[in-house]
């Protein structure tokens, strides 16, 4: 069972935690503890420089040099049967040592093993595209560019994939504010109406619980509709009109409860 | 020639109905609200359910149209992202007047749980909204009740083509 922690100040606590808190790592095992991984690592080491390698939660993690990546993945795909690139992206370590960590998650269906290839690049540095090897890298590299601003050389279509093409900033950077910077806050207003409309439309209201029943600029109360901007008081008469035929209508009798018969026997 | 035995002085007998232009025009408008098929997220699923056989929007004369040029009401069903914001404006502009907008669900109302950089914090920042439906997602009953409220709103208005000025450039 998980150890009990007090939950009464859990909401307040979130404000005081360090945003760049580094979680404790799961234990690492030696590569020699797995025969398949040990053979794979030996094959990789024979051709490429390996900085570090270990097994973490049944995955082998291998740290390599950035400029080896294309040849390494080609070798792994063709020789070591790691035929799928299931995921790739970057990790923002700019706050720690001004680098990005790029990872490639490889899967071998034959060996039933997963290897994670990792390397670090400096800020502003580009990576080599592996789109020619794995089609899945096409969109992943575009997403990496979109979210982190890391470009991939030799990519056929190095453009943003999630955010609009004219977006500024890279949202998955840890320095990017969650609720957006100045550009993001006014993006739709600037684009559709122009910057001069900012005064008319006003800033975003981030407090979703905000309700003002006396606000007749933005809301009308049901049954108490007033013209826009009218001052609302508490003692107003109901102005609702459900149907325009409320006084009765041509050819149709008004259905009313008193003169109707309620049938409560389904077997009647 | 057959003689009709109709007593024209009794109720329903006289084949004449008197009404005003406002009422008859609004009667037509409010009972044939064609909605633009505009499911943006999970609210779209509820909107589809409203249109399907169990809840049956056709009873209200609400038929979903795939073209803004044939639609009277735009039901913004789901999260409006900033990337999509220009398209909602374009679709709204393509709708013919008179036109109405229902903002369906928390995301379309206020951005909802997506208090982030990529979500428009309420679709009323882009287009004028007539009706806000709360819920995440609102049940089909809520949407149908909302359409009935919109019908009430239409009936209470004058039938003139010129819409009342709303907050929009």
User: Tens digit of pLDDT for each residue in A131-170?
Assistant: 999 999 999 999 999 999 999 999 999 999 999 999 999 9
Predicted local distance difference test score (pLDDT) of residue B2: 60
Confidence at B169, pLDDT banded by 50, 70, 90: very low
Average of per-residue pLDDT across A190-207: 88
CB B145 within 8 A of CB B122: no
Q: Which of B13, B83, B124, B126 to mutate to test the interface with A (most CBs of A within 10 A)?
A: B83
**How far apart are alpha carbons B155 and B149 in whole angstroms?**
10
How are strands ordered across the β-sheet holding B131-133?
A: B64-65, B35-36, B73-77, B100-104, B131-133
Residues 6+ apart with CB under 8 A from B16: none
Predicted local distance difference test score (pLDDT) of residue B160: 72
**How far apart are alpha carbons A254 and B144 in whole angstroms?**
22
Average of per-residue pLDDT across A61-69: 94
Predicted local distance difference test score (pLDDT) of residue A20: 78
Nearest residue on chain B to A242, alpha-carbon basis: B152
pLDDT at B168 over 80: no
CB pairs under 8 A between A and B: 82
Structure tokens at A230: 């009218």
Burial of A117 (0-12, 13-18, 19+ CB in 10 A): buried
pLDDT at B158 over 90: no
The per-residue pLDDT for range B132-142, each reduced to its tens digit, is: 899 998 999 99
Of all helices (H) and strands (E), which one includes residue A64?
Answer: strand A59-64
Residue B106's nearest CA partner among A193, A209, A246, A91 is A209
Q: Is A12 on the interface with B (CB under 8 A)?
A: no
Residues 172-201 of A with CB under 8 A from B: 176-181, 184-185, 187-189, 191-193, 197, 200-201
């Amino acid at each position: 069972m998980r150890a009990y922690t007090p939950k009464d100040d859990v909401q307040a606590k979130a404000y005081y935690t360090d945003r760049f808190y580094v979680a404790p790592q799961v234990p690492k095992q030696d590569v020699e503890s797995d025969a398949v991984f040990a053979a794979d690592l030996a094959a990789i080491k024979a051709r490429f420089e390996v900085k570090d390698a270990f097994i973490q939660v049944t995955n082998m993690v291998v740290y390599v040099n950035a400029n080896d990546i294309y040849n390494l993945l080609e070798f792994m795909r063709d020789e070591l049967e790691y035929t799928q690139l299931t995921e790739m992206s970057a990790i923002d370590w700019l706050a720690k040592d001004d680098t990005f960590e790029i990872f490639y998650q490889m899967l071998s269906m034959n060996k039933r093993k997963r290897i994670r290839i990792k390397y670090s690049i400096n800020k502003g540095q580009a990576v080599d595209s592996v789109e020619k090897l794995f089609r899945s890298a096409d969109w992943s590299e575009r997403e990496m560019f979109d979210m982190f601003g890391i470009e991939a050389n030799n990519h056929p279509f190095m453009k943003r994939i999630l955010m609009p093409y004219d977006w500024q900033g890279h949202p998955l950077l840890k320095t990017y504010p969650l609720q957006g910077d100045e550009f993001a806050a006014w993006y739709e207003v600037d684009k559709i109406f122009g910057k001069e409309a900012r005064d008319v439309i006003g800033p975003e209201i981030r407090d979703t619980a905000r309700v003002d029943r006396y606000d007749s600029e933005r809301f009308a109360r049901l049954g108490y509709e007033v013209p826009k901007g009218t001052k609302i008081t508490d003692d107003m008469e109901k102005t609702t009109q459900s149907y325009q035929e409320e006084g009765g209508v041509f050819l149709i009798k008004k259905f009313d409860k008193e003169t109707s018969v309620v049938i409560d026997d389904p077997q009647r | 020639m057959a003689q009709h035995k109709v007593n024209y002085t009794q109720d329903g007998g006289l084949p004449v109905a008197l009404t005003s232009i406002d009422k008859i025009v609004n009667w037509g408008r409010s009972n044939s609200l064609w909605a633009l098929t505009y499911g943006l997220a999970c609210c779209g699923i509820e909107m589809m359910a409203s249109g399907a056989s169990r809840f049956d929007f056709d009873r209200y004369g609400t038929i979903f149209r795939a073209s803004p040029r044939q639609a009277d009401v735009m039901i913004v069903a789901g999260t409006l992202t900033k990337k999509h914001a220009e398209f909602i404006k374009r679709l709204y502009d393509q709708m013919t007047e008179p036109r109405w907008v229902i903002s369906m669900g928390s995301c379309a109302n206020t951005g909802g749980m997506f208090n982030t950089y990529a979500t428009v914090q309420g679709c009323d920042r882009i287009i004028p909204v007539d009706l806000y439906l709360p819920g995440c997602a609102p049940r089909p009953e809520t949407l149908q009740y909302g359409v009935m409220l919109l019908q009430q709103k239409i009936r209470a208005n004058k039938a003139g083509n010129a819409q009342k000025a709303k907050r929009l450039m």
